[in-house]
Structure 1
Amino acid sequence: MKSRVYDTLDRQLVHALQLDGRAPFSRVAQALGVSDQTVARRYSRLRGEGALQVLGLTSPAALGEVQWLIRVQCTPDAASSVAEALARRDDTSWVSLSSGGTEINCMTRAPGSQTGNSLLLQRLPRTPSVVGVTAHCILHTYFGGAMSLVNKSDTLTPEQVRQLRPGPEQLPATGPGEGSAAVLDEADHRMLALLQRDGRTGLAELATASGRSQSSVRRRMAELQACGVLYFDIEFERRIFDLDSAVMLWLSVSPSQLAETGQALAEHPEVAFVCATTGPTNLHAVVICSDIPSLYTYLTTRIAALDAVRQLETAPLLRRVKAAASLPSAPVRTTPAGAGPRGHAG
């Protein structure tokens, strides 16, 4: 079967929606120099193929939540079912299989008051077929969240980027204030649950779900963006940008050079995510390259040039089970907390 071929307009549209996920097609069309109908058709095709999705996500830091990177070692016959059970949880994201298909990597979030006591961290060690669990707290993110690998591409010109960036009223501020966290009510949670599934959900549907008027929904979304709680991200088929090989890096770096090295990694075009963590290694990154030779070149040039790196572990990502979507802590859980298939981490 012939594989799908993506073109320049596909890449430009993905970049445009990374800059502003809810941008009207008319504004995107004007910046790209095509008709509104062309943009609408291209978006519908990419979305229908599962190659592009806009997501409305929340910032754990702005909500006073703590993120954990979890590595789960399983028996070979159980890794897929455990990963799928983890993916069904509201509090997980970026669930993937690596290291020969026996290790699961995922991210979870919990209220700061429950640090170290999340239900997931308590349950995993008691899950059948799980032979080892390590959890690393994310201390600082150097690149990720609203920033994507797409932002590092040269797909759009600087003038097109200027036209497509959201206005000042939509740009995140510094957050709800030092030492404080934003508070969401039940109407917010219902609205955010829809945006998480489709960041371009219409105002009418958001108003019905939240019990607010459309003008109130528009105003509340602007407020949540302004205080850094809500941001829009995209999920896209990596082949659109001729990317194929993804790998996780776990690096040990001298503490005195941790910030400098993390910031240097954030500038690398190949780095999709990088953060400082607790644990035996103190930097974690996700790298995506066009192929295995390109990955080898990256490791032996850009990584090799970082003098502070004392130890490096690589773990190829074999299959992504769940991507960015995870729900902020809600007053009422929206899915059952019961066990998944075969009693796995449900």
Structure 2
Amino acid sequence: MLDEIDRGLIHALHIDGRAPFSRIGAVLGVSTQTVARRYRRLRADAALRVVGLADPHRAGRAQWLVRLTAAPHSAQDLAHALARRADTSWVKLASGGTEIIAVVHTPAGGGHSLLLHDIPRTAGITTVSAHYLLHSYLGGPTAWRGRAGTLTERQQRQLAPEDSGSVPTAGPSLTDADHALLTALQRDGRAGHAELAAATGWSPATVARRLTALQAGGVIFFDVEVDDAWFGATTQALLWMTVTPAHLEQVATTLAGHHELAFVAATTGRTNLVAHALCPDPAALHDYLTHRLGALGAIHTLETAPVLRTVKGAGPIAPAGEVRRLPPRSG
């Protein structure tokens, strides 16, 4: 599995996805070469990747959590078709392989072609439900605690960008000219200024200034993708909950503090709160559901959808031929 240096490196990338290997090495107490070597190994073995993402509100985008049910023989093909689209992220196969769950990004003012046109006309889909993401309490720039518990507070301060403690200003906003920059960062959030300059047609100095401004203003952030099985999270599930509206804020805030959860959001629909749980095994998931969630009386209903596979994460799907190895078996 992962040793302390691997975990420290991943935690460091969650704090600053573009931090130089030299700075990460200094904080971890190892050489720059060691950090670079570990990063390459984790990319090959654990599907580690840093991706640059736009804040949906700043980018004028709405997010929907879509649940599709399909026949077993067609569900995988449909999941991969959704994953290839630029307007989707976090495409997962769940519930025995017959359910597909995906985040769909749409223009805030309309233009819902996937929801209104493409999905209804797709053969093999038996049921569809779309849930508008109203508010995220955990996820996005905030890492799952299972990945972000290695570095001390002092080490985290040493790695934090200089302006991370400031409140994002009202600007800048994403423009059409930023599209090429964001597309390149979605593929590789650690791409160098020269590579980003080639993708945008700007000079490296212009890329550096624009990237600094967008990141400081909270317009973009950097997420880390990695196979959570390497952290011992071999059992995952999406939890769909119905909570008394008067207690929704309190319950959601409480859940956002649970170590077992990587994502918590309020949604529209028959259920009004969704969470993503990562646990070591089914027994641990059962214990979490019955004891920690069971103790919250404001949760009236709970539906558990086991996640079998993540077909696509936050960024575009990996190029063909990039193979992810399975984590070693414990024991």
TM-score by length of 2: 0.91
2:248 paired with 1:253: no
Compared CA separation, residues 322 and 171, structure 1 to 2 (3 A):
farther
Structure 2: gaps of 5 or more residues: 318-331
1:55 aligns with 51
Q: Deviations over 1:139-194 (max 9, x none)?
A: 100011111104774211111111111111x56744636xxx923223x1111111
Distance 2:114 2:33 in 1: 46
2:156 aligns with 161
User: Would you say the 8 A contact 1:175–1:229 is kept in 2?
Assistant: no
Question: Which residue type is aligned with residue 139 of structure 2?
Answer: G
Compared CA separation, residues 165 and 319, structure 1 to 2 (3 A):
same
1:274 aligns with 264
**Aligned match for 1:190, one of 157, 160, 180:** 180
Tell me the SS of whatever aligns to 1:113.
coil
1:10 aligns with 6
Structure 1: gaps of 5 or more residues: 328-346
Tell me the SS of whatever aligns to 2:119.
helix
Compared CA separation, residues 255 and 249, structure 1 to 2 (3 A):
same
2:170 paired with 1:176: yes
TM-score by length of 1: 0.88
Compared CA separation, residues 183 and 54, structure 1 to 2 (3 A):
closer
Q: Deviations over 1:111-132 (max 9, x none)?
A: 1110xx5111022122101111
1:119 aligns with 113
User: Would you say the 8 A contact 1:92–1:106 is kept in 2?
Assistant: yes
**Aligned match for 2:127, one of 125, 132, 139:** 132
Tell me the SS of whatever aligns to 1:149.
coil
User: Would you say the 8 A contact 2:238–2:277 is kept in 1?
Assistant: yes
Question: Which residue type is aligned with residue 218 of structure 2?
Answer: G
Q: Which runs of at least 4 in structure 1 moved beyond 3 Å after TM superposition?
A: 150-153, 170-177
2:214 aligns with 224
Distance 2:275 2:89 in 1: 15
Distance 1:172 1:317 in 2: 37
> How many residue pairs align between the two structures?
316
Compared CA separation, residues 69 and 109, structure 1 to 2 (3 A):
same
Compared CA separation, residues 152 and 84, structure 1 to 2 (3 A):
closer
Question: Which residue type is aligned with residue 69 of structure 1?
Answer: L
User: Percent of counterpart pairs with the same letter?
Assistant: 48
2:50 paired with 1:73: no
Distance 1:127 1:259 in 2: 37
User: Would you say the 8 A contact 1:62–1:182 is kept in 2?
Assistant: yes
